[in-house]
Amino acid sequence: MTDRTKLAVSFAPFWHNGSRVTDRSRQIILAALPAALFGVYRFGFSALGVLALAVSSAVLWELAFTRVAKRPVSVGDGTAAVIGLLFGMMLPASLPWWAVITGTFLAIVVARQIYGGIGANPFNPAAVAIAILMLAWKQRMDFDTALVNSVFDFPAFFPLAAVKAFGTEAIRDVALIDLFLGRQTGGIGTICNAALLAGGIYLVLRRVIRWEIPVSFLAGVALTAAAFHVVDPLRYASPAFHLLTGFTFFGAFFLATEDASSPVNFIPMLIYGAVAGAIAVFIRNIGVFAEGLVFAVLVGNLIQPLLDKIRPQALGKVG
Amino acid sequence: MQINLLVRYLEAGKYEDAEESYDLHSCIECGLCSYVCVSKIPILQYIMLAKHELVRMRSMETVND
């Protein structure tokens, strides 16, 4: 007698390569942690409180919403924790607790779950939440006002706001190496560009994010800033300054590369990154906000469905 | 073929759009997409279902004519 089950053949993928969403979330958190820890070192325990509250409230909002909506509980895949961490890293360390919880509600429920949860969000959830908070509580999200009571061993003004108000004269004494190593004010996890660069390169090497988006994003920022700088060097800062201040590195490696809201093909990725980077500098130089990079990322997310139409044709297809 | 867009159409049951605009019939059913899918979507099963449904719809139309 032959065993019938031995002869049963299933369909093609007989095995899975084992990649999981949880692994990707873990890699992103690992890559973001050095910059976040530097922020805690720089801003003290209030920064740790903001980060912890952001992560935990994001996870709890996700849990609550999946319960209420009777969806499968998706907290375990870690994407809510990633969003909470990235959101918290962009906040000033002195943000009160209610604003943090409101922000994670906006990120998890409004920007993600009502569109269908993981993989279905049209915009980067963390960027949406930061954008709404910047419009709603302008004073609390302003880095100069928020950090006015902190004491630092370096000039404690938000560099981009200083340039916007007083021109490049205000930042003449700011050394680029200081900006790179995080001797500047800003969001908790966005000040240490060295750590962000290391984390971003790690993510690229682990194939969690594609190199095209950060590279074209940074190129878009640099080229646009260079054009402004050539036209009026007294009003507009140099490209290196724009690269090393505000959310630039954070946006390039962690915001613009979000899975669901970024394109997947080579040319669309280049266009997406360059457009978002260019708009970021436009907002900084001639827009209302000193740091409007999250809005630039949102505009990039907005054109992503159009960019996805640029794709290779199937071989031999007629018509 | 653009599998990330194709699978959205297949999940929504829009088989004819998938066939016209997203190269459904270019698929040779190797199963690589399901092998690497991080979210473990049964992509190949969706594709085979779509092809089956299209054949069934076509044959129903010819019977009705």
Residue identified by tokens 């867009």 is B5
Interface probe for A, chosen from B17, B35, B46, B49 (most Cβ of A below 10 Å), is B35
ipTM of the complex: 0.82
Predicted pLDDT at A4: 67
CA distance, residue A307 to nearest chain B CA (Å): 12
Give the whole-angstrom CA distance, residue A127 versus residue A129: 5
- Structure tokens belonging to residue A208: 């969690």
Confidence of residue A76 (pLDDT cuts 50, 70, 90): confident
Confidence of residue B3 (pLDDT cuts 50, 70, 90): confident
Cα angle value B37/B43/B44 (rounded, 5°): 115
Give the whole-angstrom CA distance, residue A225 versus residue A241: 9
- Residues A81-120: tens digit of each pLDDT: 999 999 999 999 889 999 999 999 999 999 999 998 888 8
Question: Among residues of chain B, what percentage have pLDDT more than 90?
Answer: 25
Question: Do A249 and A190 touch, CB atoms closer than 8 A?
Answer: yes
pLDDT at position A302 over 60: yes
- Chain A residues closer than 8 Å to B1 by CB: 314
Give the whole-angstrom CA distance, residue A281 versus residue A108: 28
Predicted pLDDT at A83: 95
Q: Which residue has the higher pLDDT, A2 or B37?
A: B37
Residues in chain A whose Cβ is within 8 Å of chain B: 11-17, 19-21, 24, 118-119, 264-265, 308, 311, 314-315, 317
Mean pLDDT computed over B28-53:
89
pTM of the model: 0.90
Predicted pLDDT at A195: 94
Predicted pLDDT at A65: 94
Mean pLDDT computed over B20-48:
88
Cα–Cα distances in angstroms (integers) from residue A112 to residues A81, A137, A308, B2, in the given order = 13, 22, 20, 24
Task: Give me the sign of the Cα torsion angle A64, A65, A71, A76.
Answer: negative
Please judge whether A15 and B26 are an interchain contact, meaning their C-beta atoms are less than 8 angstroms apart: no
Confidence of residue A317 (pLDDT cuts 50, 70, 90): low
Partner residue facing A19 (CB), from B23, B31, B38: B38
Mean pLDDT computed over B19-48:
88
Predicted pLDDT at A1: 54
Confidence of residue A318 (pLDDT cuts 50, 70, 90): low
| A5 contact partners, CB below 8 Å, separation of at least 6 | none
Burial class (CB in 10 A: 0-12, 13-18, 19+), A131: buried
- pLDDT, averaged across chain A: 89
Give the whole-angstrom CA distance, residue A200 versus residue A206: 10
- Residues A236-294: tens digit of each pLDDT: 889 999 999 889 999 999 999 998 888 988 999 999 999 999 999 999 998 888 888 99
Predicted pLDDT at A127: 94
Mean pLDDT computed over A7-25:
80
Please judge whether B31 and A12 are an interchain contact, meaning their C-beta atoms are less than 8 angstroms apart: yes
Residues in chain B whose Cβ is within 8 Å of chain A: 1-2, 4-5, 23, 26, 29-32, 34-40, 44-45, 48
Question: Do B14 and B53 touch, CB atoms closer than 8 A?
Answer: no
- Residues A124-166: tens digit of each pLDDT: 999 999 999 999 998 888 888 887 777 777 777 888 888 888 8
Partner residue facing A19 (CB), from B29, B36, B44: B36
Q: Which residue has the higher pLDDT, A202 or B24?
A: A202
